[in-house]
């Protein structure tokens, strides 16, 4: 049984001054999960939000917080992000994948992310400890970058191994790129600029969902 198609708007492209309103509006527009990008200015060349903001989001969100930690030391911080309210917490293979066990024992779903230049082969050894694999389709650090189709074979490989859990794709997802990602086998779609930069968030989310569903697993 393959997992359902889910749309996860990235709050990185939301208006940070009005975050509670943005959460409410994007949930009403049809978001399944809220993707939260945590950056430490070390693993990636940008700083965004941290534990107190995740805790604040948890107070207003009705949808699961899908927290993507682009940080060098997930072992040090994982439990605190789960306690702050992450439903899924995704750390990077390039950092400390041993954090996965901590994430699960703290009570969240565990995600493992791979950067565009990172080989997916080592992920296979971690699959029994993860609920979701995140394939980055841009170099992490910033929203609004161009989709890298060359990462799609990694998704095909994961499905060929028989992985039936979630596969998330993050970076440059729009109505133009979501179909190919779904056809490769991705089922969770992060989109920041494509949703928050559009005039009609509900229309954009519906269009992403429609195209993804039509192409995922041959449009089951």
Is 111 an interacting residue with respect to ligand DX5 (CB under 6 A)?
no
Those residues whose C-beta lies under 8 Å from the C-beta of residue 209, and which sit 6 or more positions away, are 5, 7, 30
Length of the chain measured in residues: 220
Choose which of 64, 97, 111, 172 interacts with ligand DX5 (CB under 6 A): 172
Cite the active site residues: 37, 170
Residue 170 touching ligand DX5 (CB under 6 A) = yes
**Rounded (5°) CA angle 52-88-204:** 95
With CB under 6 A as the rule, give the number of residues binding ligand DX5. Answer: 21
Out of 193, 202, 207, 214, the residue judged to bind ligand DX5 by CB under 6 A: 193
Q: Does 194 bind ligand DX5 (CB under 6 A)?
A: yes
Would you count residue 65 as binding ligand DX5 (CB under 6 A)? Answer: no
The residues of the shown chain that bind Zn ion, judged by CB under 5 A, are 37, 68, 170
Partner touching 129 among Zn ion, ligand DX5, none, CB below 5 to 8 Å by kind: none
173 binds, among Zn ion, ligand DX5, none (CB under 5 to 8 A by kind): ligand DX5
Residue 85 and residue 54 in contact, taking contact as beta carbons nearer than 8 Å: yes
């Amino acid at each position: 049984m393959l997992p359902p198609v889910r749309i996860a708007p990235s709050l990185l492209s939301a208006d940070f001054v009005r975050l509670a309103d943005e959460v409410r509006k994007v949930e009403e527009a049809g978001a399944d999960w809220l993707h939260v990008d945590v950056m430490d200015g070390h693993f990636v060349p940008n700083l965004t939000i941290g534990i107190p903001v995740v805790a604040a989001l948890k107070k207003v969100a009705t949808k699961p917080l899908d927290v993507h930690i682009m940080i060098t030391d997930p072992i040090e911080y994982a439990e605190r992000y789960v306690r702050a309210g992450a439903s899924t917490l995704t750390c990077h293979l390039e950092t400390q994948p041993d954090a996965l066990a901590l994430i699960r024992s703290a009570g969240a779903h565990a995600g493992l992310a791979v950067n565009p230049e990172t080989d997916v082969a080592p992920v296979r050894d971690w699959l029994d400890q993860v609920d979701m694999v995140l394939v980055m389709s841009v170099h992490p650090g910033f929203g609004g970058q161009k989709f890298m189709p060359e990462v799609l074979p990694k998704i095909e490989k994961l499905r060929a191994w028989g992985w039936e859990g979630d596969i998330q794709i993050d970076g440059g997802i729009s109505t133009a790129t979501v179909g190919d990602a779904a056809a490769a086998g991705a089922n969770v779609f992060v989109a920041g600029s494509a949703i928050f930069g559009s005039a009609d968030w509900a229309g954009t989310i519906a269009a992403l969902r429609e195209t993804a569903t039509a192409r995922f697993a041959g449009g089951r």
